[in-house]
Amino acid sequence: MRTFFVTLACIIALNLQAAPKEFFVYIGTYTKTEEQGIHWLKLEMATGKLTAVGKLAGQKNPSFLAIHPNKKFLYAVNEISNYKGEKAGGVSAYSIDPKTGALTFLNQQSSKGGAPCHLVVDATGRNVLVANYTGGSVASLPISRKGRLRKASSFVQHEGSSVLKPRQASPHGHSINVSPGNKFAVAADLGLDKVLVYGFNAKGGKLTPAGFTKVAPGAGPRHFAFHPNGKFAYVINEITLTVTAFGWDEAKGKLSELQTITTLPVERGKGMSTAEVQVHPSGKFLYGSNRGHNTIAVFSIDGKTGKLKAIQHQSTLGKTPRNFGIDPTGKFLIAANQSSGDVFTFHINQDTGELKPTSHSVKVPMPVCVKFLDLSE
C-alpha cells in the first residue's frame, strides 16, 4: 500500500511539474514608428490573465514570428519590399533570454522575395523557411549553431495566375509549413489558388517542387495547418471565407481534398476575409479567424474522416482578427485584433472546443502574430 501511495505521489508531482504555470507570449506587429516592434507578454495559466512584459523596436514590420525548437532563438519576417536595394524583404534572428524572455537582435538576411509574410523553423532547427507575398516565392535560410541566419540556400519562384483579377494576376505566397515527418514543405499561394508541395532536405535546406493541389478558382488559399495525427491537413481560403480539408500522405507528399466548408454563419459581406487557421493540440477541434465579421469560427473534427462541422462563431471582442494562437496545453486561445490594437484571451472547453472570453486583454499596436514559449523547464 505504501508503494502505491509513493507511486501516486510521484505521478501527481510529475503532472504538476509538466503543466507550466505561465507562458511567454510573443506578438509580431506592423510598425508605423521606430518605437514599435516585437512585444512579449506573460500568460497566467490559472486565469488566462495577460501582462505586458517588454518590447524590442528597431526592425521594420516584424509581422510573423517563429521560435526555434531549442527555445533559444526567435525569427521574424521583416515585411518590406526593399532590402538594401534588393526587391526583397528581410528575415531577422534574435536570441531569447532564458530567464526574462527578452530578445537580443543577432542578424538579418534577405528573404529573396518581396513582403515576406510567413515563416517556420524545421523540426531539426537547421533552417528557416519563408513565404514571400509580393514576390510570390519561397526560400530556406540555414541557421548557424549560434542562431544566426545564413544567406538563402534554396529559392523557388512561383509562376502563373488565377481567375480573380487584379488580386490573382500574379503569385502571392502566403504561408509555408513543414510536414510532420520533416520531409516536405507545403506552401499556400493565394494568387495561384494552389497549395504547392516541395521535397525538403533539412541537411542542405533544399526545396524541390513535388506537385500541387488546386482549390476552387478564386478561393485564395492563405494559411495551412497539419493535424496532430499527420493524416489530415487544412487550408483557410482568404477570399471565399472557407476551409478546405485534405487527406495527407507523408510517404508521397500528396494532398487529397476531402471537404470545403464556410467559416461564416451568414452570407459573405463586403470587407470580410479569413486569416489564420489552427488545429487544437488534442486534434479534436479546428479554429479559423474571420476578419470583418470579427469572429473565430470553431469546428469539430471527425477523427476518422478529418471532416469538419461548425459548432461556434465567437466574437474576438475587437476588429480584424489577423491572427491567433492556441497555447501548447490547449487551454487558452489568444486572438490578436489588428485594427483595434488589442489581444484577448479565451478559455477553450476541452469537451466541446467552444470558446469563452476570460475578460483578460492587453493593448498591442497592430498585432499580427501570436507565439507561445515555456521557459519553466
Long-range residue pairs from 160-167, CB within 8 A, at least 24 positions apart, any chain: 160/191, 160/192, 160/194, 161/191, 161/192, 162/191, 162/192, 162/193, 162/217, 162/218, 163/193, 163/217, 163/218, 164/217, 164/218, 164/220, 164/239, 167/191, 167/220, 167/239
As a whole number of angstroms, the distance between CA 28 and CA 48 comes to 20
* Domains defined for the chain, CATH in brackets: 40-373 (2.130.10.10)
Residues of the chain with pLDDT under 50: 1-17
Give the burial string for 236-263 (b: 16+ CB within 10 Å, else e): bbbbbbbbbbbebeeeebebeebbbbbb
| pLDDT value for 34 | 66
Which pTM does this prediction carry? 0.94
**Main-chain dihedrals φ then ψ at residue 121, nearest 5 degrees:** -110, 135
Burial of 153 (0-12, 13-18, 19+ CB in 10 A): middle
In this predicted structure, what is the pLDDT of residue 8? 41
- What pLDDT score does 169 carry? 97
Place of cell 474571420: 290
pLDDT digits (tens, 9 = 90+) for 66-116: 999 999 999 999 999 999 999 999 999 999 999 999 999 999 999 999 999
pLDDT digits (tens, 9 = 90+) for 28-70: 999 987 668 999 999 999 999 999 999 999 899 999 999 999 9
Q: Judging by DSSP bridges, how do beta strands 221-226 and 232-237 pair with one another? A: antiparallel
Contact status, residue 289 vs residue 274, Cβ threshold 8 Å: yes
Report the alpha-carbon distance of residue 6 to residue 4 in Å, rounded: 6
Q: How far apart are CA 33 and CA 89, in angstroms?
A: 18
* Joined grid coordinates for residue 145: 549553431
Closest CA to 242 of 218, 256, 265, 261: 261
